[in-house]
A and B are shown apart, each in its own frame.
Chain A
Amino acid sequence: MQQIIFIVLTGIVSFFAYKKFSQIYRNIMLGKSSDMSGDAAQRWQNVIYVAFGQKKMFKNWIPAIFHLFIYVAFLFTQVELIEIIIDGVFGVHRFFAPFLGGLYTLIISSIEVLSLLALVATFVFLYRRNLLRVPRLVKSELNGWPKLDANLILIGELLLVTGIFTMNGADSVLQGIDPTHYPDTGRFAISSWFGPAIFGGMEPESLMFVERFGWWLHLLVVLGFISYLPYSKHLHIFLAFPNVYFSKLTPRGEMENMPEIMNEVKSILGMESDTSATSGGEMPEFGSKDVFDLSWKNILNAYSCTECGRCSADCPANLTGKKLSPRKIMMDIRDRATEIGNNIASGDLKYAKTKDNTDIKTLTADNYDDGKSLFDYISREELHACTTCNACVEACPILIDPLEPILKMRRYEILTESAGPGDWVPMFTAMENGGCVWQMPVEREAWRAEV
């Protein structure tokens, strides 16, 4: 009976998780193709140091250590999860124990020690978020769902660790009562003394129930996690790795070139240009108005964001009270991509562009138009406050680049809409007419006469 429930439940969860994760993949791919040039060896090096090694986390020791506890505990617990799946499908108990012997004791003991450390870390994180109220963890963009999301994950973590210790603790007592069904696993680091202390003296039937309760709790939390992840900032546990791999390798100070404009300007200046790359008369849209005009890497960045807010804590605009928050930019891009993805998945033709094409049969990313854009999420005031100082880029532990989409949206505003801050108009005019940021009455080289 337990086997059937296990298989059906795991199957259903896997099916829906697969559907949901494919949808996230499609949402990311709403973006444009992106330059992947650069050394693959450098990319792998980043994955090893920054993703696996958490190198950038350690700029801030306290959260880094506690995060490391949870991270390593998570990685190690996967071993136990494999056993749970085998046990669940075949109706066996602690499948690996007889094969591994002393090594099994060591592995499970390590998991127990790590789980305990993760438990401590979870309490520390709940404390930092809800009582200590670390500024970056209580900023306004976290109000509502993001705040609840963060706490739900931590509570899930508590349940998971409770499950592990209940299961192992009851098991250690049962090993003394019924060695045929509960074979000796050796003494686990924590549950071997914790189990007897809590569950010692209980009836065998109650103990078996407690053991099963722990086992199922562990499993249900894991299945819950898998179903929940696609809706949560916690997606970073998977996406951080590809995100780091695909991160920008070109110089930090280099903004992506726009060959269409370069060639256009070259032909205006009478220089030799690659005319195939020009816009060919029709006025195209430049910059980014919506997620379709971002690169898929920008959207991957957005889905990888853990909302830790290190970017916003270091942002000079944000810390002097301006509306700009690099974290919010990433959250907005993600939410907009999700909105579009869900609308497209609904197939409802009210989201189709009717202007140029009246006989649309199916809704796709190409004919999508819901009358909204990223500018409905991100205000111009936010975009205009950026100093391009790269503090946010530097701060992100998983190499997210919040600056690139900001600059792409500025490009849209200036190049496509001819809008933007009025203060910039005299600067543009001076640059265009006099080749200088200020309109100057004297010659550029006048100073040299005074040396």
Chain B
Amino acid sequence: MTIKTMAEATAEGIEVEVLFWVGCAGSFDARAQKVTKAFSQLLDKAGVPFAILGNEEACTGDPARRAGNEFIFQMLALQNINTLNMYRVKKIVTACPHCFNTLKNEYPALGGNYEVVHHTQFLQGLLNDGKLKVEGGTFKGKKITYHDSCYLGRINGEYEAPRDLLTNLEADLVEMKRCKTTGLCCGAGGAQMFKEDELGDKRINIERAEEALSTNANIVAANCPFCITMITDGMKAKDKQDDVMVMDISEMILQSVK
């Protein structure tokens, strides 16, 4: 399949339904790239006309803003808004809850107003509209636990769309004790991803990995590239990387799609 940039789509006069905001992790991180590709394939299978910004996309500025660097945030955000407004983008979908939050909640104050959805919400829509059909086979009987990312769950109140998708897979969904509003952070947010931990007894991702392990799940389903990195690292630290897979929900849908 070919994935078009907004520049190409505009030049060719193609009407795009939704812009896929890939994000830094989705663009560059080897693990997150797989999610980007999986979600692109799903969009393609569902026949959704979409495009990316490609090289015209920049980091939303989330980690800079949360680290306290408002200058860099404003620089990136204003440039992105400029680009998005130039292409008259109306609707954005992203597989990163940090990008999702910033685009949805913080860009409006800077002059960027778009309908922003997280990819789990978008996929739920595609399934509900019958544009994608899944069968339970692949994950039937597998024990899956779902990790709420802070920025999709507690911060933006979306707990159901990802769970709804997992229910479609006919898997055995088990909740961790800390879930939904009290879901435990993976440890990456607030630009922690980009620095060493402060001194403590334990790393946060280990705490979360242990909690996931206590459910005896075969798969930890996630919705955020940083959560995936953190929990995967946690599993490695517990030497469980071969027993427990950490997957993005879109990857699981792709494996089950008819």
A interface residue numbers (CB < 8 A to B): 59, 251-255, 257-258, 261-262, 264-266, 268-269, 271, 286-287, 314, 316-317, 319-324, 381, 384-391, 394-395, 407, 410-415, 420-421, 423-424, 426-428, 431-432, 435-438, 440, 442-448, 450-451
Contacts and interface: CB of A to CB of B under 8 A. Distances in A.
A448 to B, nearest CB: 4
A427 B199 contact: no
Given A316-B185, A431-B61, A445 B55 contact: yes
Interface in B129-165: 150-151, 154-156
Contacts of B27: 436, 444-447
A81 to B, nearest CB: 38
A354 B186 CA distance: 48
A388 B59 contact: no
Given A394-B182, A447-B22, 19 more contacts: A253-B156, A257-B110, A265-B74, A266-B74, A316-B184, A316-B187, A320-B203, A389-B150, A391-B150, A395-B182, A421-B196, A423-B195, A431-B63, A435-B57, A442-B28, A445-B27, A448-B52, A448-B54, A451-B3
B47 interface: no
Specify which of A251, A268, A316, A390 lies most central, judged by the most chain B CB atoms within 10 Å of its CB. Answer: A316
Contact of A387 (B101, B189, B201): B189
B109 A257 contact: yes
Interface stretch (B35-43, B120-128, B236-244, B245-253): B35-43
Contacts of A410: 66-68
A39 B190 CA distance: 29
B69 to A, nearest CB: 5
Interface string B202-242: 11101100000000000000000000000000000000000
Given A269-B78, A316-B207, A424 B71 contact: no
A414 B185 contact: no
A298 to B, nearest CB: 16
A440 B30 CA distance: 12
A317 B200 contact: yes
B70 A286 contact: yes
A311 B1 CA distance: 48
Nearest to B71: A261
A424 B191 contact: yes
A149 B195 CA distance: 38
A381 B54 CA distance: 38
Contact of A435 (B5, B22, B37, B59): B59
A285 to B, nearest CB: 13
A424 B58 contact: no
Contact of A432 (B72, B199, B203): B72
Given A381-B199, A389-B150, A431-B59, A414 B194 contact: no
A413 B66 CA distance: 12
A254 B3 contact: no
A268 B67 CA distance: 22
Contacts of A451: 1, 3, 37, 40-41
B255 interface: no
B151 A253 contact: yes
Contact of B57 (A286, A324, A385, A444): A444
A424 B69 CA distance: 10
Nearest to A416: B68
Interface of B: 1-3, 5, 22, 24-25, 27-28, 33, 36-37, 40-41, 52, 54-55, 57-59, 61, 63-72, 74-76, 78-79, 82, 101-102, 104-106, 109-110, 150-151, 154-156, 181-182, 184-185, 187-204, 206-207
A445 B101 contact: no
B41 A388 contact: no
A428 B204 contact: no
Contacts of B198: 317, 322-324, 381, 384-385
Given A253-B155, A317-B204, A445 B199 contact: no
Nearest to A255: B65
Contacts of B64: 427-428, 431
Contacts of A445: 5, 27, 52, 54-55
A395 B185 CA distance: 14
A253 to B, nearest CB: 4
Contacts of B57: 435, 444
A287 B68 contact: yes
8 contacts: A254-B105, A320-B201, A385-B200, A389-B190, A407-B66, A421-B67, A435-B58, A440-B28
A158 to B, nearest CB: 33
A411 B68 contact: yes
Across chains A and B, which 7 residue pairs bring their CB atoms closest together, nearest first? A321-B201, A435-B58, A410-B68, A388-B190, A423-B195, A445-B54, A414-B68
A443 B110 CA distance: 27
Specify which of A251, A255, A322 lies most central, judged by the most chain B CB atoms within 10 Å of its CB. Answer: A255
Nearest to A320: B202
Given A271-B82, A384-B195, A391 B185 contact: yes
Given A253-B156, A323-B199, A431-B64, A423 B194 contact: yes
B109 A415 contact: no
A447 B182 CA distance: 35
B191 to A, nearest CB: 6
A426 B65 CA distance: 15
Contacts of A428: 64, 67, 69, 72
B94 to A, nearest CB: 14
